[in-house]
Amino acid sequence: MSSIGYLGAGLLTSPDDGFFTWSGAPPCSLGVQCAQISDGFYARSSPTASDKSSALTTDSLQWTQFDFSSIPTGSTINGIEAEDKVYASLNDPQQGYAADKNLFLRYDGSSIGSNMISASNWLTSPEVRTYGGPSIMWGTTLTRDQIASSTFGIFLQVSGNCTVYVEYFRIRVYFTIPTIFVSKVFYIG
């Protein structure tokens, strides 16, 4: 089995589909783009003071345009592994917390497969987390062409009542290269 990655996204968007928007955490002034690559800059989402009494959901972060075009045509996709780096300002059920709400693969603008959320609350210091693996397909079947599409990606929403920070999400793809049979024909004559 072969693998390619971890690759960062070529595009990061955040549609208005939750209660809390994303912005750049100082010193990053690029807004949501602060969470596009592993560079020490973070995007953040914060509830207002009146919202801290109940757990609400952030707008989603949607990473797409991963360049998996070098996976050979005809390869079988065996597994997908994703890695992020995140933290929260609080991790106390009485004071505030953050946790994954939705974590799906995306293709052609839609969420696909299983919700791969972590069962743990986010820590209060930066943590690298891994989802999936060499033989985990996230509850779906994907082709090489789907993986290589600019619309393939990953989608994250966070639930909680404290400020959350995301530095990046990146993906590794495991695949099997197709076997090519070559036969020789001999003529005797």
∠ CA 63-67-73 to the nearest 5 degrees?
Answer: 130
Which of 58, 54, 55 has its CA nearest to residue 20? 58
pLDDT in tens, the chain (189 residues): 999 989 999 999 988 888 888 888 888 877 778 888 889 999 999 876 555 556 688 999 999 999 999 999 999 999 999 999 999 998 887 778 899 999 999 999 999 999 999 989 999 999 999 999 999 999 999 999 999 999 999 999 999 888 999 999 999 999 999 987 776 777 776
44 CB-side CA count, 13 A = 20
The pLDDT, as a whole number, for residue 84 is 96
The pLDDT, as a whole number, for residue 111 is 95
Residue 40 belongs to some domain of the structure: yes
The pLDDT, as a whole number, for residue 5 is 86
Q: Is 109 left (phi over 0), alpha (psi -120 to 50) or beta?
A: left
Residue 187 belongs to some domain of the structure: no
Q: How far apart are CA 16 and CA 46, in angstroms?
A: 14
178, 75 in Cβ contact below 8 A? yes
The pLDDT, as a whole number, for residue 189 is 66
Residue 108 belongs to some domain of the structure: yes
Strands 164-176 and 61-64: unpaired
Domain that holds residue 58: 2-176
Residue 73 belongs to some domain of the structure: yes
Domain count, the chain: 1
Residue 29 belongs to some domain of the structure: yes
98, 164 in Cβ contact below 8 A? yes
Q: How far apart are CA 185 and CA 175, in angstroms?
A: 32
25, 88 in Cβ contact below 8 A? no
The pLDDT, as a whole number, for residue 48 is 66
Amino acid found at 171: I
3-state class percentages of the chain: helix first, strand second, coil last, to nearest 5: 5, 45, 50
Residue 77 belongs to some domain of the structure: yes
Q: How far apart are CA 8 and CA 67, in angstroms?
A: 8
Residue 152 belongs to a domain with what CATH number? 2.60.120
66, 146 in Cβ contact below 8 A? no
Residue 17 belongs to some domain of the structure: yes
